[in-house]
Amino acid sequence: MNDNWVKKGLVVSVIILFLGVAVAPSINFTVVKASSDNDLVEVTTQACGIKGFGNTTVKLTREQYAKVDLLFETINSKLNNATSREESIRIYHEAIIELDWYGLLPQGMSVEKAQRLVTGCNQNRYERLLNNRLRQEFSPLFINVFCLLSINATINPNEDLPMIIPLGPLFFICLPLATMLEKVGGPYLGLLIFAFMYLFPLRLMNLIFIYGYYTDFHSFGLKGAVDSNDVFILLGYTGLTLNFVDKVYFLGFALGVF
């Protein structure tokens, strides 16, 4: 395994365990599917980082779908040219109003609540936990940190199993445990530990792996305005996800991205 990936894994583990106590145990992530027919495109919106709001599934016409797609392209373009966090927040607020117009906010979520969610409602708590020295040490490993972000993730047709996988901090605890128990009790014991890790309902934060997708990433955070087409992990993500047939849009805030 590449040494850089080992170092990144260790850093992520430390951050997750460090923040786990402070993040509300209500954070949840549910895998959802999208489908389409000849005339309509089905899209499911869900909230990450907060509970009490159900998923919303609506069917858009092809024309409406094109307009939503253009909306995210416009967000990326504006975010790329933003010169301050305040300007980025204004871009997000305007985007939420448009998503609400299409009925694409999670069930029961107001425009104001969605605006607070996607702009990192817990950011101040996170920044107090990670002091300046820690941020300076961890920052070089990430594309951006403490950042507002917008991602257009499009399935790569050359990949057999494109996936967006949510994991919690239990992954980093159960991984070495499962490896040790597999040697003692056989492969089934190790698989049991992994099943517990994935199905355990208490997810202390959102750790999202993106595999098999082309990613168009734009952000504004402590590293300024940063773009990338090679995003693999979102650490501590809160915000909205919109799931189409061949695309997933992320609009929100993350502690770190690499």
pLDDT of 13-52, one tens digit each? 444 444 443 333 322 333 334 455 568 889 999 888 777 8
| Mean pLDDT lowest among 185-194, 203-212, 229-238 | 185-194
Position 85 scores a pLDDT of 85
Please report, rounded to a whole number, the percentage of residues in the chain having pLDDT higher than 90. 28
CA gap 93, 107 in Å, rounded: 18
CA gap 165, 102 in Å, rounded: 27
pLDDT in tens, 90-130: 999 999 999 999 999 999 999 999 998 888 765 555 555 55
Closest CA to 172 of 3, 15, 28, 4: 15
Mean pLDDT of the 219-247 span: 87
Position 14 scores a pLDDT of 43
CA gap 147, 92 in Å, rounded: 12
Sign of CA dihedral 50, 55, 56, 61: positive
pLDDT in tens, 65-79: 999 999 999 998 888
Task: Determine contact, residues 114/240, Cβ cutoff 8 Å.
Answer: yes
* Backbone angles phi and psi of 38, in degrees to 5: -65, -30
Q: Where are the domains of the chain?
A: 23-168+203-245
Here the tokens at position 107 are: 């069930």
Closest CA to 209 of 68, 29, 22, 24: 29
Mean pLDDT of the 154-174 span: 73
